[in-house]
Chain A
Amino acid sequence: MKSSVIIFPGSNCDRDMDVALKKFGFENQMVWHNDEEIPKSDLIVLPGGFSYGDYLRCGSIAGKSRIIKSVINFANSGGLVLGICNGFQILTETGLLPGILQQNKYLNFICKNVFVKIKNKENKFFKDIKKEVLELHIAHNEGNYFCSNDELKSIEDNGQIAVTYCDNKGNDNEENNPNGALKNIAGIFNKNKNILGMMPHPERMIDQFLSGEDGSLFFENLIGSL
């Protein structure tokens, strides 16, 4: 299976993602933001970081970069696209995913492990993961998911909420909301569930000696579902 990780100026999780994808069997290639074409891929990943220094709004400049047209075409033709953290912000700025990631409610940069509850497994990103709750890592200043009431209704009606912040037992209430995100939303899909954007970093949880292994479950499922 072939994957492509797009590198923007200011991306800083691109190499971690490369390591993770290769560890679980992807033949990964790195693609520069100023290219126009993406090599043949089964999966495109927009990595975390601070693309273009977070100028204007997080992800807004990357959302208009040269490579993005190819990402949008790939996504609209049903290709699998994953955006982590800044990648999630870029996906909302391109309009591929609804809503926006605002500054965290209490203005602090949050860097810690969190638990997230998988809300929908009828998709390639989560379908064979046996667990309901994953321990992943977050590191962001703008992860406070927001959208209009109409959009929220449509997201909920279409099962587009992918993961929500929760405790280790899966209680996704306000108490376990680190950043003020609407409905504890940590990640969402597009309507067709071929695009996933989420704030937590599965690529940081693929080694039991460094962190944890719940990210491994994510990548194992991903390569298995393609």
Chain B
Amino acid sequence: MKVKVIVTLKNGVLDPQGKAIQQTLNGMSFENVSEVRQGKYFDIEVKESDESKAKTQVEDMCKKLLANLVIEDYKIL
């Protein structure tokens, strides 16, 4: 089955790319954009039919590789 994961920077962690995107949007006449935080999205195909087993495994992947928990949070969709 397919498991989807979103990795984002934790609140309070500086996001210079998000800031640059926000400023560009403001410059493109989207003046009302006050903040952009960017992140990563993963589509993971796991050979496992049991949803909770697959998600437990993906959670382990998030902790060990996909996210760096010093600065990032992950969300399994």
Contact = CB atoms under 8 A, between A and B. Distances in A.
B77 interface: no
A120 interface: no
Interface stretch (B9-17, B26-34, B48-56): B9-17
A49 B68 CA distance: 20
Contacts of B16: 103-107
A100 B70 contact: yes
Contacts, number: 35
Interface string A93-127: 10000111011111100000000000000000000
Interface in B1-30: 13-14, 16-17, 20
Q: How large is the interface on A (under 10, 10 to 19, 20 to 34, 35 or more residues)?
A: 20 to 34
Tell me the interface secondary structure of chain A in the complex: loop
Contact of A102 (B14, B20, B65, B66): B14
A93 to B, nearest CB: 7
Contacts of B65: 56, 60, 64
B13 to A, nearest CB: 7
Q: How large is the interface on B (under 10, 10 to 19, 20 to 34, 35 or more residues)?
A: 10 to 19
A190 to B, nearest CB: 15
A148 B71 CA distance: 8
A153 to B, nearest CB: 15
A112 B54 CA distance: 47
Contacts of B70: 92, 98-100, 146-148, 151
Chain B CB within 10 Å, residue with most, of A57, A64, A93, A99:
A57
23 contacts: A56-B66, A57-B68, A60-B65, A60-B68, A64-B64, A92-B70, A93-B68, A99-B70, A100-B68, A100-B70, A102-B13, A102-B14, A102-B71, A103-B16, A103-B17, A105-B16, A106-B16, A107-B17, A107-B20, A146-B14, A146-B70, A148-B70, A180-B14
